[in-house]
Amino acid sequence: MNKHRQEVLVKRQALSEQQREHFAQAVFQHWLNAYTNLPPQRHVGCYLAVKGEVETLAIIQQIIAHQHQCYLPRLAAPHTMTFARYTPGDSLIQNKYHILEPLPQAQTIGPHDLDMVLVPLVSFDKAGNRMGMGAGYYDSAFAFLQQKSQRSKPQLIGLAYSWQEIECIKANPWDIPLDAVITEIGIRCF
């Protein structure tokens, strides 16, 4: 899978700015149509796009326009991740992966207190399995979902380009599947 991961990353970064904007706008519209029909989502986890990921700025602005709280991932103690409150314009710092995250003094929330989390990914399959960058932060943060007989919150929703879907991802016991994926062609629920 490392070869596949590298191929997808190269293809994703090769997209032109115009293609990224076009795809991001389509993903935003599908997300917005679903988001406005969902029960109120007071605490929404999101991410700031890097390396050609689906852009999320319009989604973040809409979350805040609906007067909900937006949170970004922040790396914490060895190999853990929390979520810190974010409003566009807040100061950010780079973590060890050169990803922008809120400052240490930003208000945090535990992953189990989020209602919805928009998740970046490298690939996904028809069963909702997700391939990330390989560090396991999201799987670790949401491992508690494996203990529940019926998943309730947070909803884990991947944002991707439709061509990132592959036939099958061999899931490990610690991998946490997605509830849905939104691409430029629509929403797929699992």
Q: Which CATH number do you get for residue 74? A: 3.40.50.10420
Q: How many domains does the chain have?
A: 1
**pLDDT tens, the chain, 190 aa long:** 578 788 888 889 888 999 999 999 999 999 999 998 777 889 999 999 999 999 999 999 999 998 899 999 999 877 789 999 999 999 999 998 899 999 999 999 999 999 999 999 999 999 999 998 878 899 999 999 988 666 678 999 999 999 999 999 998 888 999 999 999 999 999 9
pTM greater than 0.85 (yes/no): yes
Domain extent, residue 23, equals: 2-189
Residues 6+ apart with CB under 8 A from 38: 116
Is the Cβ–Cβ distance between 190 and 129 less than 8 Å? no
In total, the chain counts a number of residues equal to 190
